[in-house]
């Protein structure tokens, strides 16, 4: 909700005038002041320190800690739980320069509680008055060193406000008093003295704002018989004979003379109307002031003074006022009058707003305990019980009352059991209920039967009547109290202590919403107590620390354990967000940072296990906080003392990173000592920052060449050196590439930030350093003029920053551009000689041959058929990573080394290595698996991975988050499921994919059998896989040697992909594969053979026009029997002719374009010994999946589930992983994974349909009603695990689709299929270059936008815009989709229409992909920019 004009104006004045602003957050959603204050604090003109306090927290302590501030401001929405805390501190605060800005809505009651303790109280009706009074209050407090209460109405956004310029506020505050103090010796608290002080400040404020400021305003008759004083937001602008209105703005000091000046001798009646609806005392404050003034005044005749309540006067008319005055004259003076409608009862009892993010936990409770969940402090109770219903004290009282009543119920059941008159049936039910009284399901079922039986028997025993009276308690309830982290600031005052110490069987869910990155921005004196540690010290409380965005399964386990525990339970739930608009992706990243750093450890403490002699503590994350570690160490020590056979549990609770840090420190020290011993000449230090490896290779090559010239050279990453150590170097060369939008690569950011800090201080620590910088970039990567400064920005910034810090440049800045003829080498070749010349070694003749750089080809041939040192690396416990060369080899074993990029920067700042983990990809030809294999994959994800697994675009399973020590056991479990990971990645033939056409059951079976034969035939023959992962050693030592009959010791130049398509569905995108087989049937519907394609591939490098995507060419037709041999011979031609020098041009697509299609085909036919037959006709009509139920030719049923982006996981209200697990337990058919990342439950017999449909419905897996756009979408993994990702993909595409599908729905296209794909980098895992709309990541939040792909994968798309952000994407698509809806021809797809409409040119071949990019005609990017 946007802030109102008055709130914005007051917040601005408070921020600009104060040293410190303390803001109390609101109980209902975002704070009124918070948004404005946060915006001001983040602006360039940042001035005051802003402290936000949780709702209900005691602000007095914080204000007193800042009492030394020149001016202190406090902002809050009036609420008794906030303001009542201040009362005890006001006597001390009244003598400090503090302004209390209290916003009110329709009742001044809560705010006026403070007025008796403060010397000045101002009241503002309008937004302009609130602005001016905020200035006046600030001036008063600053000049007089006194506290001022400023009460103002919230109002709305439409109220006009004329604000004072920011640069005029400070001079206004510091200006001298405009009138001297009185020479009379009066007390500083005397009202007349205070009034003069007010007037002095008012004069100064009027001079600033040029608007009048008076204690009150009066209008109406000059000689009235009735005066109406109003304190509130009243619109009484009427001229009524005999009536005068006085609007009070200065409530304190309000002297009798001031009041009487408004009461002329003609007045016979005074009515005081105050907007006070919940005043606890008999007389209201302004009424008392007026009565007192009239009684003290020497009036000829004292008027009658009456009190009244001022309501909403927006609908009050002149006749209503006249009637009110008439009524006042007829009522007794003591009668309380009223003008205007009172606040609606509904508004007064409105339930507090529950932020939408918090439903992530409440939905889990509702799903787990459906029918028996009881939220003891539910907001819904406010309408019946008032605001106290949400407090923990109230909830605990409810729990105690219910538990005592249930104990009475149990006693009544036992008493009735002893009654011999009870029938056998009821006796049995009573006994069964006692045995199941704590079981949520059985207690309800038996309880219902028992109540019905007792009602039927009409027993006279009082115990029976008692049972019926308490029948609502027969089902076992799961009782929960839900609170926020505000309860953790004062455990005693919040009532949380009483709940923890109660020993009652009640559960507490505490939500902590403080983001990890802002954890230090809160008031350091108001630290939250560690509730978990506090509760664990009680010894009899179940405690769990959870985070739903880190481990959903751990949350489920913790909540279920808490429910089962007989005693108090505290579940701490982490949910970091600032506002309701905080995206889920941001919450996920904050959670990961908090968990990984140990700030928010995941654990469970179950005292019930200790009573069973088991370890009570379970650590579910890698790190714990020091305080928790000390508790566990002490607990473990005490446990050891009481055991006859002590056990060591340190590994269980120890921080898994400590040994790693120590080992790394020792290795670094040893390396440093070796370096010192080696130095015997003036050294050259080469530092690099590189993400992709090119800058690293260039830096190491430079260092090697330096050594060959006799220099003592050292090469390292930029982040390996501190600024202090940098200052000790003499000659330094920097080589840096660029990441994102001109940022430094990951391993150079720490040093770059440190250099910026020194520059900001104006220091020059590098005066003795001589340097040169070489930067690598792509001038075409940011084609728009406004983005051109991103080109080589890291290198340019580093060069300028070093000079700013006093370093001297010994060679000019060198820049390498990917767009040059030889790429960055063009610039490098001109720059390197300048280095040698400056060092005086340019004339040195280098006779020794420069070592050849190590490439993937060297690694493969030296690996002993893919062994390398993988086995040794797995045994190295000092690091979570493998050696760089081994990470190239593990790809052949189906394994990629990765790290969590969400927390990479944070771990680097902590001095820890990246959070390494591994991705494992299964080889599963055709994507078919049994239910038993599915269950094993589900188990592997939980036991070894991150609890989820992914269906990939190559029809297989992929596990993420597998740490090194789990690698071998995970692969062994995969092997036990009769699957493997060999050749799922690497420079070999990868997983062979097959169209999933459920309706063509027989044809699919034949194609699937063919795919398995191709996969097995092209499988590497090395035994390294079985040796390393399955512990199967070579027979007879080394007597038997490995041999690769197809691959040889170099294997292939690059990856090789094979697909089998079954028309009319091209769901495998057969033209995107190195080799494609398009199934051709004979006149009987039998598989006759295949049309063979070759040369497809997706990978591209941004800006490198030597790289491009390509669709495969059709070579001809082959029979089924010939197919395996054809695949082999095409692969062998690629093996012998592929580019092994440049991996970016090593795929088969480049080999064909280099050789020429005819020559390539002839070579394949020569090796085959026969020619291809002419291609046979076929038809494709789509490349998406047919979702929902279909029936095959054999009568079996098949259901295609929509799995967004292939991620199998459990989420609130989408427990897909659990649902598919349940299906796998009963399913008698198979599962088929699709190349579009969906899942088919196949071969369901008719008699099994009800069971499968029931489970699908139960877990909402039968929902295929999403938009056509969403059902046709696909994304790769990208962040946080993929090391190549430049932008989000899987986590962002659903968010983007939410917005684009609204545009589709507005134009009647909800059910129309438009193929949209997204990848985080240009390598093309999700096959984006064949999509009708595609986005390819370039930098965080920035994408390449492509249009015009063929709907059934027959045509490449083309670059439409080279850099777009989300607002630009939506701005482009909105008019485009609208036109498509209006102008398309029948059956015309979006990709075809954008070409016909002139937005983009068609791509006719891969080599022409870059041609005519950027749009056509009026839609060209340059035209759009103009």
Q: Which one of the listed residues 589, 891, 901, 1055 is annotated catalytic?
A: 1055
**Under 8 Å between Cβ of 1240 and 1203:** no
List C-alpha distances in Å: 138 to 14, 116, 149, 178, 354: 8, 20, 10, 16, 35
Q: What is the C-alpha R_g of the chain?
A: 38
Nearest CA to 1322 out of 1341, 1351, 1344 is that of 1344
Q: Which two tokens stand for residue 1399?
A: 């937005």
Q: Which one of the listed residues 604, 923, 990, 1358 is annotated catalytic?
A: 990
Start-to-end C-alpha separation, the chain: 37
List C-alpha distances in Å: 1175 to 732, 1045, 1311: 62, 31, 35
The question of whether 860 is a catalytic residue gets the answer no
Q: Which one of the listed residues 269, 709, 793, 921 is annotated catalytic?
A: 921
Dist CA 54 CA 484 (whole Å)? 9
The question of whether 1055 is a catalytic residue gets the answer yes
Dist CA 143 CA 1023 (whole Å)? 86
Peptide bond into 1064 cis (omega under 30): yes
The question of whether 1325 is a catalytic residue gets the answer yes
Sorted by sequence, the CB contacts under 8 Å of residue 108 that are 6+ apart come out as 78, 123, 151, 231, 232, 274, 275, 276
Q: Which one of the listed residues 985, 1118, 1201, 1276 is annotated catalytic?
A: 1276
The question of whether 784 is a catalytic residue gets the answer no
Q: Which one of the listed residues 437, 1057, 1270, 1361 is annotated catalytic?
A: 1057
Element (H, E) at 1220: helix 1216-1226
Query: Quick check: helix, strand or coil at residue 1084?
Result: coil
DSSP notation for 944-1010 = TSSS-EEE-TTSSEEEEEE-HHHHHHHHHHHHHTT-B-TTSSSSSB---EE---TT-HHHHHHHHHH
Dist CA 581 CA 325 (whole Å)? 50
b/e map of 930-957 (b: 16 or more CB within 10 Å)? bbebbbbbbebbeebbbbbbbbbbbbbb
The question of whether 985 is a catalytic residue gets the answer no
Dist CA 783 CA 1420 (whole Å)? 13
The question of whether 1276 is a catalytic residue gets the answer yes
DSSP notation for 365-407 = HHHHTTTTEEETT-GGGHHHH-GGGGSHHHHHHHHHHHHHHHH
Q: Which one of the listed residues 749, 1321, 1327, 1338 is annotated catalytic?
A: 1321
C-beta atoms surrounding 1000 within 10 Å = 21
Which one-letter DSSP state was computed for residue 1246? Answer: G
Phi, psi of 117 (to 5 degrees): -100, -5
Q: Which one of the listed residues 1282, 1304, 1358, 1361 is annotated catalytic?
A: 1282
**Under 8 Å between Cβ of 616 and 607:** yes
Q: Which one of the listed residues 1201, 1217, 1325, 1338 is annotated catalytic?
A: 1325
Sorted by sequence, the CB contacts under 8 Å of residue 281 that are 6+ apart come out as none
**Under 8 Å between Cβ of 402 and 473:** yes
Q: Which two tokens stand for residue 219?
A: 């209008």
Nearest CA to 1316 out of 1283, 1292, 1281, 1340 is that of 1292
Nearest CA to 151 out of 114, 198, 96 is that of 114
Query: Quick check: helix, strand or coil at residue 272?
Result: strand
**Under 8 Å between Cβ of 53 and 62:** yes
The question of whether 278 is a catalytic residue gets the answer no
**Under 8 Å between Cβ of 118 and 149:** yes
**Under 8 Å between Cβ of 592 and 899:** no
Q: Which two tokens stand for residue 837?
A: 């010349």
Dist CA 842 CA 378 (whole Å)? 80
Which residues does the annotation mark as catalytic?
Answer: 921, 990, 1055, 1057, 1276, 1282, 1321, 1325
């Amino acid at each position: 909700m946007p802030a109102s004009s008055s709130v914005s104006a007051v917040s601005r004045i408070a921020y600009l005038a104060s040293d410190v602003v303390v803001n109390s957050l609101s109980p209902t959603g975002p704070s009124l002041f918070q948004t404005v204050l946060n915006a001001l604090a983040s602006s360039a003109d940042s001035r005051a320190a802003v402290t936000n306090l949780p709702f209900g927290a005691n602000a007095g302590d914080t204000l007193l800690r800042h009492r030394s501030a020149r001016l202190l401001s406090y902002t809050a929405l009036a609420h008794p739980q906030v303001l009542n805390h201040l009362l005890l501190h006001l006597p001390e605060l009244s003598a400090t320069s503090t302004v209390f800005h209290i916003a009110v809505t329709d009742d001044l009651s809560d705010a006026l509680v403070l007025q008796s303790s403060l010397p000045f109280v101002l009241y503002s009706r309008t937004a302009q008055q609130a602005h001016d009074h905020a200035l006046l209050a600030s001036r008063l407090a600053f000049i007089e060193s006194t506290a001022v209460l400023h009460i103002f109405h919230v109002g709305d956004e439409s109220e006009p406000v004329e604000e004072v310029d920011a640069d005029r506020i400070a001079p206004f505050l510091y200006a001298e008093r405009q009138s001297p103090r009185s020479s009379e010796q009066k007390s500083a608290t005397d009202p007349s003295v205070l009034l003069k002080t007010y007037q002095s400040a008012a004069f100064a404020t009027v001079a600033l704002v040029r608007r009048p400021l008076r204690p009150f305003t009066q209008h109406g008759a000059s000689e009235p018989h009735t005066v109406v004083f109003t304190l509130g937001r009243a619109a009484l602008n009427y001229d009524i004979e005999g009536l005068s209105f006085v609007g009070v703005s200065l409530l304190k000091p309000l002297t009798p003379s001031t009041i009487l000046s408004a009461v002329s001798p003609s007045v016979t009646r005074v009515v005081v109307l105050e907007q006070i609806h919940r005043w606890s005392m008999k007389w209201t404050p302004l009424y008392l002031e007026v009565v007192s003034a009239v009684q003290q005044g020497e009036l000829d005749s004292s008027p009658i003074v009456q009190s009244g309540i001022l309501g909403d006067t927006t609908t009050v008319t002149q006749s209503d006022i006249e009637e009110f005055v008439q009524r006042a004259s007829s009522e007794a003076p003591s009668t309380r009058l009223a003008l205007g409608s009172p606040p609606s009862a509904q508004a007064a009892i409105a339930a507090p707003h529950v932020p939408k993010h918090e439903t992530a936990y409440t939905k889990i409770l509702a799903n787990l305990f459906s029918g028996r969940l009881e939220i003891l402090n539910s907001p819904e109770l406010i309408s019946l019980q008032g605001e106290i219903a949400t407090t923990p004290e109230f909830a605990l009282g409810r729990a105690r009352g219910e538990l005592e009543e249930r104990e009475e119920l149990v006693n009544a059941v036992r008493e009735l059991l002893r009654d011999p008159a009870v029938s056998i049936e009821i006796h049995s039910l009573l006994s069964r209920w006692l045995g199941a009284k704590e079981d949520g399901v059985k207690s309800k079922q038996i309880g219902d039967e028992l109540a019905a039986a007792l009602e039927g028997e009409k027993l006279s025993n009082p115990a029976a009547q008692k049972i019926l009276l308490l029948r609502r308690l027969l089902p076992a309830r799961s009782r929960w109290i839900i609170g926020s982290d505000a309860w953790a600031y004062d455990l005693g005052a919040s009532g949380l202590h009483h709940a923890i110490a109660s020993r009652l069987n009640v559960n507490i869910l505490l939500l902590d919403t403080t983001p990890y990155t802002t954890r230090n921005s809160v008031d350091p004196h108001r630290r939250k107590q560690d509730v978990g540690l506090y509760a664990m010290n009680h010894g009899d409380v179940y405690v769990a620390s959870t985070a739903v965005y880190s481990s959903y399964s751990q949350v489920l386990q913790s909540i279920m354990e808490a429910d089962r525990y007989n005693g108090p339970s505290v579940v701490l739930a982490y949910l970091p967000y600032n506002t309701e608009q905080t995206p889920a992706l941001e919450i996920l990243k904050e959670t990961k940072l908090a968990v990984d750093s140990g700030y928010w450890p995941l654990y469970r403490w179950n005292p019930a296990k200790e009573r069973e002699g088991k370890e009570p503590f379970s650590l579910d994350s890698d790190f714990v906080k020091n305080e928790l570690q000390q508790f566990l160490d002490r607990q473990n020590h005490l446990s050891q003392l009481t055991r006859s056979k002590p056990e060591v549990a340190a590994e269980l609770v120890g921080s898994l990173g400590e040994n790693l840090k120590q080992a790394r420190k020792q290795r670094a020290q040893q390396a440093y000592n070796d370096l010192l011993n080696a130095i015997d000449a003036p050294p050259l230090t080469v530092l690099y920052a590189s993400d992709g490896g090119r800058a690293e290779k260039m830096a190491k090559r430079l260092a090697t060449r330096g050594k060959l010239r006799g220099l003592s050279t050292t090469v390292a990453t930029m982040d390996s050196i501190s600024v202090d150590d940098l200052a000790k170097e003499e000659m330094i060369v920097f080589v840096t590439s660029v990441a994102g939008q001109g940022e430094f690569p990951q391993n150079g950011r720490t040093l770059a930030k440190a250099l910026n800090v020194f520059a900001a201080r104006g220091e020059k620590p590098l005066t003795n350093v001589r340097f040169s910088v070489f930067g690598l970039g792509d001038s075409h990567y940011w084609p728009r003029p406004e983005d051109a400064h991103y080109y080589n920005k890291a290198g340019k910034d580093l060069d300028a920053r070093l000079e700013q810090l006093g370093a001297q440049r010994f060679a000019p800045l060198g820049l390498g551009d990917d767009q040059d003829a030889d790429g960055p080498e063009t610039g490098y070749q001109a720059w390197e000689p300048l280095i040698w010349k400056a060092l005086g070694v340019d004339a040195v003749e280098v006779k020794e041959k420069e070592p050849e750089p190590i490439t993937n080809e060297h690694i493969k041939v030296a690996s002993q058929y893919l062994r390398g040192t993988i086995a040794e690396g797995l045994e190295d416990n000092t690091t979570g990573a493998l050696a760089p060369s081994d990470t190239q080899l593990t790809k052949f074993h189906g394994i990629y080394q990765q790290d969590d990029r969400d927390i990479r920067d944070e771990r680097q700042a902590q001095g820890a290595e990246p959070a390494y983990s591994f991705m494992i990809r299964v080889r599963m030809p055709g994507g078919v698996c049994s239910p038993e294999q599915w269950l094993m994959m589900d188990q592997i994800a939980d036991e070894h991975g991150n609890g989820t697994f992914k269906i990939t675009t190559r029809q297989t399973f992929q596990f993420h988050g597998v740490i090194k020590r789990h690698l071998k056991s995970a692969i062994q479990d995969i092997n036990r499921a009769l699957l493997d990971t060999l050749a799922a990645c690497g420079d070999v033939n990868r997983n062979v994919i097959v169209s999933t056409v459920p309706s063509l059951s027989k044809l699919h079976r034949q194609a699937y059998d063919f795919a398995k034969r191709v996969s097995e035939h092209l499988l590497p023959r090395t035994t390294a896989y079985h040796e390393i992962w399955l512990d199967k050693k070579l027979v007879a030592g080394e007597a038997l040697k490995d041999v690769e009959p197809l691959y040889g010791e170099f294997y292939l130049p690059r990856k090789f992909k094979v697909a089998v398509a079954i028309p009319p569905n091209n769901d495998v995108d057969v033209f995107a594969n190195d080799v494609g087989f398009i199934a051709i049937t004979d006149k009987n519907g039998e598989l006759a053979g295949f049309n063979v394609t070759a040369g497809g591939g997706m990978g591209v490098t941004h800006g490198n026009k030597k790289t491009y995507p390509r669709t495969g060419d059709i070579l001809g037709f082959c029979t089924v029997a010939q197919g395996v041999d054809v695949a082999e011979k095409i692969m062998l031609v690629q093996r012998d002719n592929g580019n092994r020098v440049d991996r970016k041009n090593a795929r088969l697509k480049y080999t064909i374009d280099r050789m020429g299609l005819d020559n390539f085909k002839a070579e394949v036919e020569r090796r085959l010994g026969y020619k291809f037959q002419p291609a046979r006709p076929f038809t494709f009509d789509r490349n998406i999946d047919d979702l929902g139920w279909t029936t095959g030719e054999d009568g079996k049923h098949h259901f295609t589930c929509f799995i967004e982006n292939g991620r199998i996981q459990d989420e609130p209200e989408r427990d897909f992983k659990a649902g598919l697990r349940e299906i796998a337990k009963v399913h008698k058919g198979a599962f088929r994974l699709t190349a579009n990342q969906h899942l088919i439950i196949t071969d369901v017999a008719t008699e099994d349909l009800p069971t499968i449909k029931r489970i699908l419905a139960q877990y909402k897996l039968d929902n295929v009603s999403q938009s056509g756009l969403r059902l046709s979408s696909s994304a790769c993994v990208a962040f946080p695990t993929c090391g190549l990702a430049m932008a989000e993909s899987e986590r962002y595409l659903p968010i983007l689709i939410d917005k684009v599908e609204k545009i589709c729905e507005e134009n009647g296209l909800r059910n129309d299929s438009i193929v949209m794909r997204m990848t985080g980098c240009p390598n093309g895992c999700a096959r984006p270059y064949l999509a009708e709309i595609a986005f390819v990541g370039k930098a965080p939040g920035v994408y390449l936008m492509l249009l015009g792909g063929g709907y059934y994968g027959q045509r490449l798309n083309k670059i439409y815009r080279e850099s777009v952000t989300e607002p630009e994407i939506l701005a482009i698509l909105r008019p485009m989709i609208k036109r498509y809806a209006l102008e398309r021809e029948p059956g015309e797809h979006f990709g075809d229409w954008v070409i016909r409409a002139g937005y983009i040119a068609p791509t006719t071949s891969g080599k022409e992909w870059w041609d005519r990019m950027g749009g056509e005609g009026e839609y060209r990017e340059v035209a759009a920019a103009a």
